Amino acid sequence: MAIRDRLVQKVQTPALPIPRPGPLKHYLDDLNNILRLFFNLLANIVNTVFGELGGRFIDVPNALYFSTVDQPIAVVNTGQPVTFNQTYLESGFSINGVGNSQITAAYAGVYNFQFTTQIASTSASSKTVYIWIARNGVDLGYTAKNFVLQGSSDVNEATWNFNLDLTAGEYVEMIWSSDGIDAALNSEAATSPHPGVASAVVTINFISALPETRPTPP
C-alpha cells in the first residue's frame, strides 16, 4: 500500500457562492463571511491534527502508577494483588480497591500495559514466585509467569508488556504469589548515587478502539 493511500486527505474549505444583487445580498454577504471564517478555522484544526507531528495535540487515556513501599507475601501459595501508592500520570484512568490495586478504565478501548516489579528473597531457601493478570477479579488464562529466587538477598526483576481490551468501568490487577513466605516486592530508598527504587511500576497507554467482537480469554 502506498503511503498516500494511508493518509487522511486534507480538508478543503468550500467555495461559497457569491450573492447576486438583490434584497438578500447584505444578509448573504454576512452569512458567507461567517461561514468562511468557520470553515477556515475547522480546516486548519483538522489539517494540523492530521499533519506532521499532529498527534501531539491529541489527548488519549494514559496513566503511570508506582509503589514506594515493600510488599511482602502474606500467605504462601495464595494470590495477592500488587498495590500502588503513588500516581505520576492519570488521564482516563483511576486506581481503586483495597490498597489501590485496581486500575480502572474510564473509557472503552484496547490498552497497552507495561508492568515492572522487583522481587526479593529474604531467606536462604529457594522459592518460586508467580505473577499473572486479572480483569474484574477474574484471572486471565495463560497470563502467568514464574520466577525462581535463589538464596538470601537474591533479587529478580519481573517485566511485563501486554495489550488488553477493557470496557468503561472494567479494571485490571496484577496478582502474585510465592511458595515461600520470605519473598517481597522490594523498594529501596534513595541513597547516593542512585534515586529511590519502586517496588512496582505500571504504565498504561491507549492503543485503539475495541474490536467489533471482543476476544474470549483462554
Rg value, the chain, Cα: 26
Mean predicted lDDT score pLDDT of the chain? 89
Give the pLDDT confidence of 88-117 residue by residue, as tens digits: 999 999 999 878 999 999 999 999 999 999
Pair 36, 85 in one domain:
no
What is residue 8's predicted lDDT score, i.e. its pLDDT? 60
Say yes or no to pLDDT of 168 above 90: yes
214 is a domain residue = no
Which residues lie across from 4 on neighbouring strands?
A: none
Whether residue 88 is found in the same domain as residue 187: yes
Domains held by the chain: number:
2
On whether residue 4 sits in a domain, the answer given is: no
Note whether residue 24 is domain-resident.
yes
**Is residue 18 domain-shared with residue 93, that is, in the same domain?**
no
User: pLDDT tens digits, residue range 191-200?
Assistant: 999 999 999 9
39 within domain boundaries: yes
Judgement on whether residues 86 and 164 belong to the same structural domain of the protein:
yes
For residue 3, is it within any domain?
Answer: no
Give the mean pLDDT of 116-142.
94
| 166/10 Cα distance (integer angstroms) | 32
Residues 47 and 73 in one domain: no
Q: CATH number for the domain including 167?
A: 2.60.120.40
| Average confidence (pLDDT) over 140-149 | 94
Q: What is the mean pLDDT of residues 6-10?
A: 61
Same domain, 110 and 193: yes
State which residues form the domain around 27. 10-55
In a domain, 105, yes or no: yes
14-47 confidence digits (pLDDT tens): 777 777 787 788 878 888 888 888 888 888 878 8
Do 188 and 145 fall into the same domain? Answer: yes
